[in-house]
Amino acid sequence: MADTTFHRALDSDLFWSFRKSWTARVSSLVLLVLFGAAIFAPWLATQNPYDISQLFLLDSELPPMWIDGGDPRYILGTDQQARDLYSAILYGLRLSLVVGFASVALAAALGITLGLLGGFLGGIVDAAIMRVADILLSFPAILVALLVNGIARGVLPPDQHADAAIWVLILAIGLTNWVQYARTVRGSTMVERQKEYVQAARINGVSGSGIMIQHILPNVLGPVLVIATINLGMAVLTEATLSFLGVGMPATQPSLGTLIRIGNEYLFSGIWWVVIFPSVVLVVLVLAVNLLGDWLRDALNPKLR
Amino acid sequence: MMYRDLMMTAAVLGCIATGASAETLRYATARDVYGLDPHAVTDSFTNIFTHHIYEPLVRYDADMTVEPALATSWEVIEPARVRFTLREGVTFHGGETFDAADVQVSLMRAVDPKSPLRGNLPGLKAVEIVDDLTVDLVLEGPAPLLNNYLTNIFILDSGWLEEHGATTPIDASQGEEGYTTNNANGTGPFRLESRRPDALNVLVVNEDWWDTPQHNLTRIEHSPIGSDATRVAALLSGEIDLIEPAPLQDAARIEAAEGVRMLENPGLRSIMMGINMGDSLVDGDVEGNPLKDLRVRQALYHAINMDLIRDRIMRGKSRVTGSLIAPQVTGYSEAMDERLPYDPEKARALLAEAGYPDGFAFNLNCPNDRYVNDEAICQAMAAMMAQAGFKPRLLAEPRQIHFQKVDNREVDVFMLGWATLPMLDGFSVLSAMLATPEGEYGTFTPAGYANPRVDELTRGVAVELDPEKRLSMMQEALMLAHEDVAWLPLHQQPLSWAVRDSVEIPQAADDLVRLWYARIQN
C-alpha cells in the first residue's frame, strides 16, 4: 500500500514538475540543510550560547578562523561577548524557524477557521469577518505586528518580557498574517458550497460543521499550502525585523534578527563578521523558502501547465 | 545683463549664507532632554542643556571652579544666613528685568516639596528680599556646599511663571508636563527658537547677554540620535558637528576618518554595583539572603576581572577603580582605590566557606541605555560570576524600569553610576549611597546596609566647615564602606565625544557639554 502511494507520488504531476525545475531542487536542498542544522543545533554547535559560563571575554571579537588572528575554536569568529557566531547562528536559526513555523500554524488555523465560517455561513458573520480582514489589510503587516507586540508587552510585567518574548512574537506575527488565509479559503469555500457533493451531503443530513470540516476543507487546502510556504518566509523576515528593532528576542537568546541588530552596532568598528554571517543565513533561508513557494504556486496552478 | 546681476546677487547671498551657517553647531546626543523646565528633573544632561538658556546665581567655569553668574558677590553674615548681591542690568529673553523676586520665586520653586530637584538644594528654609538686587538665603544650618549646590539651580522670571500658571513645579520623571516643558525664558547665552520633542531643539544666540561670550556660535541645532552606528554615520557624513557620546568601539574609525576627531578624557562618573543586603533576595533560590555575608560579597568582588572588561569592552579607556569617587573629587584617597584582586579560585573558596559551594541564584539588574556600554559590561560580569560559581540572572532594562526598581529596592545586585554632580564632593556619596535611609539621606543606599559610624560621620561632614577635618571624616567613612563591600566599584567611565575638526570645545571631567565655550573655526 505504502509502496503504491510512493509510486503514485513519484508519478504525480507535482513530482514531475519538481524534477524539471532546478530552482525547486536547489531551494529544497538548501532548506533541508538549514532545517537539519536548526534541528541538530545542540549537536552541531561548539558552544551553548545560552550558557553564560561558557563565554570567556578574553576571546571576544575574534575574526573568522581563516583570517589573521582567528581561532580554530571559533569558525566564524566571536562577537563582543565572546559568543561563538557559528553556534549562535545555529541556535538563532532554530529560534527563527520555530517562530516562523508556529506563527504560520497560528495564522493558518485562524485564517482557515474564519474563512470557512465566513464563506459557508455568509451573511452578517461573513461581513463582520471580512471587514475586520479588510481593516487589517490596510495596515502594513509590520505595523500590526508592532502593535500586537506592544500591547502584549504592556500587559505582561517587565520581568517576564524575556521569557515570554518568543510567545509574544508568535502571537504578533500569527495575528498579522491570518487575513490572506481567510480571504483565500472564503473564496474557495463559496465556490465549493454550490457544488453537487455539498448539496448531496446536505440532503443526507450532514451537519454544517461536518460539511465544512469533512467535505469543504480538504478541497480548499491546495492554495493554503502555497500561501503557507510563502508566508513562512514572510514570518521569518517579520521576526527578524522585530528583533532588529529591539522588540523581539532578547540579546541573551538571540534569533537571527537579534544577531543582526547586535552586529549592526559594530559596523563602523570593522567587526563585520557579526553582522554579515547571520544576514547571509537569513537571506538564503528566506530566498529558498520563497523560491520553493513560487514553484509550488506555479506547479499547482492548472492554468500555467 | 540681467542674468549677470542675478548671478552676482546669488553669489553674494551665497556668501552670506555660508558665513552664517558656519557658526551653526549641529549637535547630536543619544537621547532628548526631559523637557526644558530646569526644576523638573535631576538628570544632569537635561540640566546642562537648560543651562544654555537659564543661569544660576553662581556657575562653574571651564576648570570647574565656582565663579559669579547672576550673583556678583556673596557673604556669610550669620552661620545660617548668606547674603547674595545680584547682577544689575540683566534681562530675560522676553525683555523682563532680573531682580530679587525672580531669585526668591525660582529657589523656592526648586525646593518645593513637590519638586524633584529639592534634594539638590538641601537645607534652604527661605529666601528673604533685602532690596531689588540683594537677597538673603536662610538655611537650616551651616552649609559648606551651598555654592556648589547653587550652580545647578536656575533662575526663571517670576512674572513669566505666574502669567503661564507655572509657579508650581512639575516632575518630568513622572511624565508631568507644563508650559515650561516646551517653552523657555531665561537670561542665558542662548534662547530657545523651537523645540520638537525627540526630534529637534533649536537655540539661537542671545545678543543681549550680560557676559562677554567666549563662544562664536549663532545657532545650536540639537537632535537626539539613539543608535550608536547612526550617530557616528551622521558625524562622518558631515550632517552633525558634535556627537556625545561617541561609541568607544568606533573610536578607531573616527580617528582614521578625515575631518573629524575624538575628544577623550578620564571621566568623573564612577560605575559600581549595589548589593542587596536586606533579609531576602528579590529572586533567589535559597533561604534568606547570602549577600548579607561579607565573604559572599568579597567572593563577588574577586570574581570580576575589571582589567579584561577595560581592555575588551571599554577599549582600554576606562579607569578601573576600587573607590566610589574619582580622584578629582574631594574625599578621595589612594587607600580606598585598592581593589580586591581578580581571583575566581578565591571567590569559589569564599563562597564555599560561607556555605554556598554550589552558588545561588540572584538578579543582576542593569540599565541598557544609561552608562557607557552598560549592558555589555553586565553581560560580561554575568559570565564571570557564573564562572566563579554564582548563578546570576541578568536583567538589562531601559533606564526608566531599572531606576524605578532601584528606588523600590526590587534589585539584588544592581548597576549605578555616580558623578557627585553638581557638588563634586564625596559628601554626595555618603549622604545618598551609604547613610541609612532617613529623610533626605540614603536615597540609593542598598537595602539592609547600616553602619552607625558611617551615619555619624555623614551627619558630621554635613555641617563641618573646617576643610581638613571634613576631608578626614569623609575619607574615614569611605574607607569603612570599602571594607564592608557596601558597593562593588567597577570603573570611572571615559568621556568620549567626537567633533568635526573645525569645532573647539573644552571637555570638562563632568562629561557635560557647555556650548557657551565652543568655537567654530573657519
Shortest distance, CA B321 to any CA of chain A (angstroms): 19
- Give the residue on B whose Cα is nearest the Cα of A58: B308
Structure-block grid coordinates of residue B335: 587607600
CB B516 within 8 A of CB B210: no
As for the ipTM of the complex, it is: 0.71
* C-alpha A228: how far from chain center: 8
Which residues of chain B does A51 touch, with a Cβ-Cβ cutoff of 8 Å? 386
Q: Residue A13 — pLDDT band, cuts 50, 70, 90? A: confident
Cα–Cα distance, B451 to B461 (Å, whole number): 15
Tally of helices (H runs) and strands (E runs) in chain B: 16, 21
pLDDT, mean of residues B45-64: 90
Give backbone dihedrals phi and psi of B390, rounded to 5 degrees, phi first: -85, 165
> Inter-chain contact A52–B386, Cβ cutoff 8 Å?
yes
Q: What residues 375-434 of chain B have any CB closer than 8 A to a CB of chain A? A: 375-376, 379-380, 382-384, 386-387, 392, 394-397, 401
Cα–Cα distance, B305 to B384 (Å, whole number): 7
**Which residues are bridge partners to B138 per DSSP?**
B81, B126
Q: Is the pLDDT at B18 greater than 60, yes or no?
A: no
The share of chain A scoring above pLDDT 70, in percent, equals 97
How buried is A223 (Cβ within 10 angstroms: 0-12 exposed, 13-18 middle, 19+ buried)?
Answer: middle
Residue B482 Cα distances to B178, B301, B472, angstroms: 43, 11, 15
**Helix-strand-coil percent breakdown of chain B, rounded to 5?**
35, 25, 40
Structure-block grid coordinates of residue A107: 495564522
Q: Which of A124, A100, A88 is nearest to A231 (CA)?
A: A100
Cα–Cα distance, B426 to B417 (Å, whole number): 14
Instruction: Specify the long-range contacts of residues A6-10, CB closer than 8 Å, at least 24 apart.
Output: none
Q: Which amino acid is at A237?
A: L
Cα–Cα distance, B282 to B362 (Å, whole number): 7
Element (H, E) at B98: none
Give the pTM: 0.78
Residues 6+ away with beta carbon under 8 Å from A25: A18, A19
> Inter-chain contact B383–A53, Cβ cutoff 8 Å?
yes
Q: Is the pLDDT at A104 greater than 80, yes or no?
A: yes
State the pLDDT at residue B1.
Answer: 40
Nearest by CB: A81 against B253, B376, B386: B376
> Inter-chain contact A81–B232, Cβ cutoff 8 Å?
no
Which residues of chain B does A58 touch, with a Cβ-Cβ cutoff of 8 Å? 308, 312
pLDDT, mean of residues A34-58: 89
Which residues of chain B does A55 touch, with a Cβ-Cβ cutoff of 8 Å? 379-380, 383
DSSP string spanning A210-261? Answer: HIIIIIIHHHHHHHHHHHHHHHHHHHHHHHHHHHHTTSSS-TTS--HHHHHH
Helices (H), B226-343: 228-236, 251-256, 294-303, 306-312
pLDDT, mean of residues A10-21: 79
Q: Is the pLDDT at B286 greater than 70, yes or no?
A: yes
**Tens digits of residue pLDDT in A143-173:** 888 888 888 878 887 667 777 888 888 998 9
Q: What is the DSSP letter of B25?
A: E
> Inter-chain contact A57–B309, Cβ cutoff 8 Å?
yes
> Inter-chain contact A158–B401, Cβ cutoff 8 Å?
yes
Structure-block grid coordinates of residue B418: 555616580
Q: Is the pLDDT at B11 greater than 50, yes or no?
A: no
CB atoms within 10 A of CB A230: 18
Q: Is the pLDDT at A85 greater than 80, yes or no?
A: yes
CB atoms within 10 A of CB B277: 20
Flag the least confident range among A256-270, B1-15, B230-244. B1-15
Does A160 contact B at CB distance below 8 Å? Answer: no
Q: What is the DSSP letter of B433?
A: I
Nearest by CB: A55 against B236, B375, B383: B383
Q: What residues 92-151 of chain A have any CB closer than 8 A to a CB of chain B? A: none
Shortest distance, CA B366 to any CA of chain A (angstroms): 13
> Inter-chain contact A80–B375, Cβ cutoff 8 Å?
no
Q: What is the mean pLDDT of chain B?
A: 90
Q: Which of A273, A279, A240, A245 is nearest to A257 (CA)?
A: A240
What's chain B's length in residues?
Answer: 522
DSSP string spanning B282-309? Answer: SS-SSSS-GGGSHHHHHHHHHH--HHHH
> Inter-chain contact A56–B401, Cβ cutoff 8 Å?
no
Three-point CA angle A171, A173, A176, nearest 5° = 105
Does A158 contact B at CB distance below 8 Å? Answer: yes
Cα–Cα distance, B332 to B487 (Å, whole number): 16
How buried is B61 (Cβ within 10 angstroms: 0-12 exposed, 13-18 middle, 19+ buried)?
Answer: middle
Flag the least confident range among A17-26, B357-366, B493-502. A17-26
Q: Is the pLDDT at B284 greater than 70, yes or no?
A: yes
Q: Is the pLDDT at B7 greater than 90, yes or no?
A: no
State the pLDDT at residue B273.
Answer: 96
Cα–Cα distance, B235 to B241 (Å, whole number): 6
Shortest distance, CA B352 to any CA of chain A (angstroms): 18
Instruction: Specify the long-range contacts of residues B179-184, CB closer than 8 Å, at least 24 apart.
Output: B180/B35, B180/B36, B180/B37, B180/B40, B180/B156, B181/B35, B181/B36, B181/B37, B181/B40, B182/B35, B182/B36, B183/B36, B184/B36, B184/B50, B184/B53, B184/B54, B184/B93
Cα–Cα distance, B462 to B76 (Å, whole number): 17
What's chain A's length in residues?
Answer: 305
